[in-house]
Amino acid sequence: MKRINLLIIGALLSAVAITGCKKDASNNNSTPVMGLSVQALNPSFNLPVTSTTMKSLSATSLVQITSAKLLVSKFSFEAELKSSNKAHDSVSIEYNWNGPKVVDLLNATADFGQLTLQPGFYDEIELRVASTRNNNDTVPVFNLTGNYTNSANVVIPVTFKVFEPVLIKTELKNDTITSTTTSAFSGVVQIYLDQLFLGITPAQLDSAVKTNGIIVINSTTNADLYQILAVNFIKRHHGEYHRHHM
């Protein structure tokens, strides 16, 4: 198996935009370009939420997330490109973006650069986001703030912070990328904010310990709620792969 590595330092990628890829209509042999990003969805939702993605999205919500930030220390792309000649090995393609960088997940423009893909059949495409802070760093790897409105119409601020290392991984199998039909290809790691609260009821938030009037959720305060949110944070994400025809 042949292996190709692409390593670009985060500071060099900060000015690269996913939408920067254009295709010349007279050129049918342009090489596909892939843009990489991470984002959060469904900041407004009712409690309790359902296990089906986006089912809890509502205009009249009990929970409104106003800020969602993720410390990204590494964003990785891996793919296996199958050879058209069975006698040849497949090609393993790797791309690594190194941070760290605090990303505003509610800002759709947050991106981690572009890479050029060879047209062909990809047996597997995998995206990984690693969040690890230095031991002396006080910045959480995931920081969520918002408001909870209870049945008495009282608005209570809520915060959820994770300091432990986090690895988010998503993959797409058996995909074909052809240069004649595709000019840009984007891979997005999506975190569903409503699904983080799966298994949490209004009664649990009503009875949660408040610090200066705020429902603080971390590993030591409201630890029962923290365990639910932390597990959901690792499990409730999704990878979206889009083709952009120009």
Tell me how far CA of residue 18 lies from CA of 15, 81, 109, 114, in angstroms: 10, 22, 8, 7
Whether the CB-CB separation of 38 and 189 falls below 8 Å is answered with yes
Give the pLDDT confidence of 164-197 residue by residue, as tens digits: 999 888 877 766 665 444 456 678 888 889 999 9
Query: What percent of the chain stands above pLDDT 70?
Result: 70
Whole-structure pTM value: 0.76
CA-only gyration radius of the chain, Å: 20
CA distance readout (Å), 207 to 88, 150, 227, 241: 62, 11, 16, 41
Mean pLDDT on 41-54: 80
d(C-alpha 157, C-alpha 161), whole Å: 14
Give ∠ CA 177-180-185 in degrees, rounded to 5.
Answer: 40
**Averaged pLDDT score across all residues of the chain:** 76
Q: Using one digit for the tens of pLDDT, what is the confidence trace for 193-245?
A: 999 999 999 999 999 999 999 999 999 999 999 999 999 987 765 555 555 44
Return the higher-pLDDT residue of 70 and 134: 70
3-class SS of residue 85 = coil
Beta strands in 105-183 (DSSP E): 111-116, 120-131, 142-149, 155-162, 166-177
Terminal alpha carbon distance of the chain? 33
Summarize pLDDT for 128-156 with one digit per residue, the tens.
Answer: 999 998 877 788 999 999 999 998 899 99
Alpha-carbon span 238 to 123, nearest angstrom: 19
Whether omega for the bond prior to residue 140 falls within 30 degrees of 0, making it cis, is: no
Structure tokens at 55: 């089912």
Share of the chain above pLDDT 90, in %: 39
Q: What phi and psi values does residue 118 have, to the nearest 5 degrees?
A: -75, 130
Which is it for strands 166-177 and 120-131: parallel, antiparallel or unpaired?
Answer: antiparallel
For the chain, which residues make up each domain, given as ranges? 2-244
